[in-house]
Amino acid sequence: MDEVNNTDHRGGLAAIGWRCLPVLAWLYLLCSAWLPRLAQAADYQNLPVQPAVISCAALGQQDLSAAADATVSIQAASVVNTPKGAFCKVEGRIAPAIGFEVDLPVNGWTQRYLQGGCGGLCGMTRVGISNAGRCGPALNGEFVVAGNDMGHKGPMMGPDQASFGADPQKRIDFAYRANHQTALVAKALIRAFYGQPARFSYFVGCSDGGREALMEAQRYPDDFDGVSAGAPATLFQLQNSLYHGWNVVANQRADGSNILLQNRLGILHRAVLAHCAEGSGVKDGLLQDPLSCKVDPAWAQCPPDAADSSQCLTAEEVAVARKLYDGPLDAAGRKLTMGGVLPGSELQWMVPASTHGKSMSQDIASLAISYLILPQLDLGMGNLQKLRFDDATFARLAQLAPLYNATNTNLQPFYQRGGKLILWHGLADTSVTPAVSLAYYQGVQQQLGAAATDSFMRLFLLPGVSHCGGGEGYDQVDVLSPLMAWTELQRPPAALLTGKLAQAAPDFMAAPPPAGIPEQGKPAQAAATLHVAPLPSSPLAQPWAALKATRPVYPWPMIARYRGSGDVNDAANYQPQQSAAVLPLDFNSLASTLIGPDNQRNYRVEQGRLTAAP
């Protein structure tokens, strides 16, 4: 990679801090003639095609003993045909149990490597390129693509998905080891197959894959040149315990029955849209800047003398909504996490469909706490009625934060190497609250300075978009093209082009759940969650389908505002405007102590237990 200026930027803009934002806003406005463009050849280096120098069969016989930190075995190597040409598909294992797959173009490789993150708790090996529907090289099969199962085999859904936590080594592999070792092995295969290394390497992931993306930039800054982290489960320890546990407990009566149900969310959502400024200058039902709206669920409350509550919420339901907006609180009202759900996300809330039904939040929290969050298995903690929201519980649940969390704000090594990082998050995400990404981004700014951070990292918040897609917003987004332009041409992304499909995407939540998971009704807008059905394995990106509208998303804290003329469905007719939120955002919570520099540890297994390495 090209070297970047390693000058310490903590003076200059960093010394001015957030007071410089109005200046940055004017710079964006001066550049507002820029229109989001589709991916073109000029958006990446025109690298020559490098053919294979050995056969796929010969690649399968390579000795990879020196590539990783443990024994590597190739189990199969075969040529598979795709619409864009043949690939050499290599499947193998890194001891003790990391299953990997690397797909290498037989012809047409343009010297790039891409590794995809694995969502949920993984447990399956697949390759794939997400959020690249307008990226020519990804659509045309020019990447070597790899993926892994994060060190264990198991279902992405159901009561056994977290059972691998009984093996401490599998926890380490899942936390951070699997992706790094896979990258080392894949790069060794690339050198053997083509006779040279990749010119550029990329990591793209969302949800836990987003956590994995940040983990790579934080722990292994030499692995990848460009990283895209979507909706990252950054605070793994708290997101999968206190946050989702609160969503369940705050919505239950003393007898365990549920209060706020899915068929009531539309009432609250309409009230929020009626009171919060949409921000774009267009009445489209999307809050461009929900952080600037002080939400009050009492907007939807029935009058005291109301005989009919079909179009309003009861006082009991309003109380639940208020708790979900707040997020986990202790008895004194202190925030334990970064907060709860944001205004405008109501249709995506993970509440049950029936009075005695279960929610996805219940499954997430119960399984994670039982098998993964605590140093030792504690299946009894899976009963969320035992979950307490206090300092002692917080401390107990945070013990393995140095293992799982991707909250190390010291990205200096990645920055100095010239790495580029795009962090993006849907503002209607209720699986992983976008407040965590905001808090992490501000933490990096505080650590490295605003100017240095802006030179290699951008945060994009997508209005109305749920977890990794879905929701009412513009959820079609090509992140790989701008990441390549930034990495290869030093062209920072002025905006992301997002689109809305002319025909709704398939609802992955519509399929019947597997045995052991009770049937759930769908919310008014089906939410993509941590546990969606996996897409087919393929080294080719999926092209965008027909779009009915496009919209730019500008780097935070800028939002998109209609210019006042032209087609409201055309991204070209929008310009950046600074968020009305007061900056920096105040995340005064106990969780803030878990976001900071150099807060990760390496772990090993001693006498069957997880042990932090010295």
Neighbour count for residue 71 (Cβ, 10 Å): 11
% of the chain residues with pLDDT over 70: 88
pLDDT band at 88 (very low <50, low <70, confident <90, very high): very high
> Is 90 exceeded by the pLDDT of residue 446?
yes
Report whether 411 contacts 217 (CB < 8 A): yes
- Chain-centre distance for alpha carbon 150: 16
Domain range for 367 is 209-614
> Is 50 exceeded by the pLDDT of residue 61?
yes
Q: Mean per-residue pLDDT for 173-196?
A: 98
Report whether 533 contacts 127 (CB < 8 A): no
Span of 5-9, 60-64, 111-115, 215-219 with lowest mean pLDDT:
5-9
DSSP-assigned letters across all residues of 415-450: HHHT-EEEEEEETT-SSS-HHHHHHHHHHHHHHH-H
Confidence at residue 34, expressed as pLDDT on a 0 to 100 scale: 41
Residue 500 lies in a domain: yes
Confidence at residue 536, expressed as pLDDT on a 0 to 100 scale: 75
pLDDT in tens, 418-431: 999 999 999 999 99
Confidence at residue 94, expressed as pLDDT on a 0 to 100 scale: 98
Residue 161 lies in a domain: no
Q: Mean per-residue pLDDT for 79-106?
A: 98
Q: Mean per-residue pLDDT for 511-528?
A: 30
Q: Which residue has the tokens 């990879």?
A: 64
pLDDT in tens, 461-491: 999 999 999 999 999 999 999 999 999 999 9
pLDDT in tens, 281-306: 999 999 999 999 999 999 999 999 89
Highest mean pLDDT out of 1-10, 157-166, 328-337: 328-337
Q: How far is the CA of 403 from the CAs of 372, 407, 590, in angstroms?
A: 11, 11, 18
pLDDT in tens, 546-569: 999 999 999 999 999 999 999 999
> H or E element: which one contains 180?
helix 178-194
158 phi-psi bin (left φ>0, alpha ψ -120 to 50, beta other)? left
Confidence at residue 155, expressed as pLDDT on a 0 to 100 scale: 76
Bridge-based pairing state of the strands 476-477 and 496-501? antiparallel
Residue 128 lies in a domain: no
Q: Report the amino acid identity of residue 79.
A: V
Contacts of 447 (CB under 8 A, 6+ apart): 409, 410, 411, 412, 596, 597
CA distance 539 to 110: 14
Residue 112 lies in a domain: no
β-bridge partners, 550: 499
CA distance 285 to 344: 8
DSSP 467: T
Report whether 352 contacts 266 (CB < 8 A): no
Confidence at residue 127, expressed as pLDDT on a 0 to 100 scale: 96
Report whether 530 contacts 364 (CB < 8 A): yes
pLDDT band at 4 (very low <50, low <70, confident <90, very high): very low
* Cβ-defined contacts of 15-21 (< 8 Å, 24+): 16/450, 17/450, 17/584, 18/450, 18/583, 18/584, 20/450, 21/557, 21/578, 21/583
Residue 359 lies in a domain: yes
pLDDT in tens, 187-227: 999 999 999 999 999 999 999 999 999 999 999 999 999 99
CA distance 207 to 122: 11
Residue 458: strand, helix, or coil? strand
> Is 90 exceeded by the pLDDT of residue 40?
no
CA distance 194 to 192: 6
Bridge-based pairing state of the strands 85-94 and 98-105? antiparallel
Residue 375 lies in a domain: yes
Neighbour count for residue 115 (Cβ, 10 Å): 31
Confidence at residue 43, expressed as pLDDT on a 0 to 100 scale: 86
> How many domains are contained in the chain?
1
Q: Which of 412, 433, 429 is nearest to 421 (CA)?
A: 412
Confidence at residue 90, expressed as pLDDT on a 0 to 100 scale: 98
β-bridge partners, 73: 93
pLDDT in tens, 330-371: 999 999 999 999 999 999 999 999 999 999 999 999 999 999
> Is 60 exceeded by the pLDDT of residue 69?
yes
> Is 80 exceeded by the pLDDT of residue 397?
yes
| Residue 378 or residue 42, greater confidence | 378
Confidence at residue 614, expressed as pLDDT on a 0 to 100 scale: 86
| Residue 378 or residue 8, greater confidence | 378
The pair of structure tokens assigned to 214 is 């940040």
Confidence at residue 535, expressed as pLDDT on a 0 to 100 scale: 62
Q: Is the pTM of this model over 0.85?
A: yes
Q: By CB neighbour count within 10 A (0-12 exposed, 13-18 middle, 19+ buried), where does 296 fall?
A: middle
Burial per residue of 215-251, b for 16 or more beta-carbon CB atoms within 10 angstroms, e otherwise: bbbbbbbebbbbbbbbbbbbbbbbbbbbbbbbbbbbb
Residue 418 lies in a domain: yes
> Is 90 exceeded by the pLDDT of residue 594?
yes
Confidence at residue 534, expressed as pLDDT on a 0 to 100 scale: 53
> Is 50 exceeded by the pLDDT of residue 400?
yes
Confidence at residue 156, expressed as pLDDT on a 0 to 100 scale: 66
Residue 477 lies in a domain: yes
